Amino acid sequence: MNLQTILDHYPGSSNAVITPFGSGLINTTWRIKTDTGDYILQKVNDTIFKNPLLIADNISSISSYLQHVQPEYFFVSPVKANDGQAVVYLPDPGYFRMFPFVKNSHTINVVEKPVQANEAALQFGLFTKMLRDFPATSLQTTLPDFHNLLLRYQQCMHACLHGNPARIEEAKKEIGQVEQYKYIVDAYTNITNSPDFKLRVTHHDTKISNVLFDEADKGLCVIDLDTVMPGYFISDVGDMMRTYLSPVSEEEKDLSKIEVRDEFFLAIVKGYFEALGGELTEPEKEHFVYSGLFMIYMQAVRFLTDHLLNDVYYGAAYTGQNLLRAQNQLVLLQRLLEKEALYKNMVQDTVIAAKN
Ligand code: GN1
Ligand code: MG
């Protein structure tokens, strides 16, 4: 792919030095250095995001809202192409967008210090808080049913019947575990039927690499707004727990290294409550720990489903990668369940401390 033809659609992008960037599974990202500045270029995966223009619409309406209502909030808007649009589309290569590279910022892939978890939780909480009066349901749905756990479970059960027969046979144990934890799905269904759980502007991809940090480990802002849609707080808090609690990621093959770290949990609780604690209803607060079960379980279900369907969604760098990822997430789920009661008490203590 000749990226210079894409860059030609932007002002001042001659003599570009282009380097691959980031670790996302879905979109492709490059860092671009030109005579005029430093940028991030992304190709949106339109097999998954069927209409990337909906993403651009959401970013644009959020950006204008924030400029009017919260002008001091740091929000990275896309660079406009020569035609004034936020997205460049060329029939064969596809959909592209460019962002300014935020000076002196960096991302991290693994949370090494509690302060990073605290800062990230604060940033994701603030994002929802800043948009508390924005009409969440006016956002476009960029990925229908993205965090609909009931549907994900049903898709997994369908794959267990109609997927790759050899893989189904081989994954019997993991399929059994997914069925055994079905109560997590039932709790989700109750949440969607309860008026106590609010639909808010939700990021839906709160992994640590979606926060920009400055050199002193202070969170600057959140990035990757592709999946910003109306949603429940359990999605955001849950993915933080999924990706900040353990010292190793979903790719780790040595499952004995998977651990759930108390001080990182507390850092998430404190950071998120600092930003959004006042907005959460009592039943929501009571489901803080459930959020982690929900997201870890859903990711296990999604990886397992993809393995049974021959890796059509996530792809696989080696045979069995998605099964391994599913096993990894099931172990993480088990580790969190072992601490469920302790963590519920930690949330309770934070709620009480906030009231006093
Ligand atoms: C995908 O592309 P990336 O890494 O930002 C996925 C998330 C998963 C994550 C697991 C649109 O996110 O939901 O949690 O992989 N995004 C989509 O690594 O499916
Ligand atoms: Mg993403």
The count of structural domains within the chain is: 2
**253 in any annotated domain:** yes
Separation of 224 CA from ligand 2 center, angstroms? 6
Of all protein residues, the one whose alpha carbon is nearest to atom 16 of ligand 1 is 26
Q: Does residue 1 register a pLDDT over 80?
A: no
pLDDT grade, residue 35 (50/70/90)? Answer: confident
For the chain, the average pLDDT equals 95
The atom of ligand 1 lying closest to the CA of 250 is 18
Q: Could you give the residue ranges of the DSSP H alpha helices within 145-257?
A: 149-162, 165-170, 172-180, 182-192, 233-244
**302 in any annotated domain:** yes
Give the domain range for residue 37.
Answer: 3-100
Copy the structure tokens of residue 221. Answer: 């802002």
**Among candidate residues 100, 131, 148, the one where a domain is terminated:** 100
Copy the structure tokens of residue 331. Answer: 């172990």
Q: Are residues 39 and 164 in the same domain?
A: no
Query: Considering the entire predicted model, what is its pTM?
Result: 0.94
Q: How long a stretch of residues is the chain?
A: 356
Q: Which residues line ligand 1 (CB under 6 A)?
A: 24-26, 48, 143, 205, 224, 227, 250, 299
Beta-bridge partners for 211: 222
Percent of the chain with pLDDT strictly greater than 70: 100
Q: What is the CATH number of the domain that holds 333?
A: 3.90.1200.10
pLDDT of residue 22: 84
| Cα separation, 213 vs 220, whole angstroms | 5
Instruction: Answer yes or no: are the C-beta atoms of 4 and 16 closer than 8 Å.
Output: yes
| Cα separation, 286 vs 237, whole angstroms | 13
Q: Are residues 73 and 119 in the same domain?
A: no
Separation of 43 CA from ligand 2 center, angstroms? 12
The atom of ligand 1 lying closest to the CA of 27 is 2
Q: What is the pLDDT of residues 196-246, one digit of tens each?
A: 999 999 999 999 999 999 999 999 999 999 999 999 999 999 999 999 999
Separation of 43 CA from ligand 1 center, angstroms? 15
Q: What is the CATH number of the domain that holds 21?
A: 3.30.200.20
Phi then psi for residue 168, to 5 deg, are -60, -45
Q: Are residues 85 and 229 in the same domain?
A: no
Q: Are residues 180 and 232 in the same domain?
A: yes
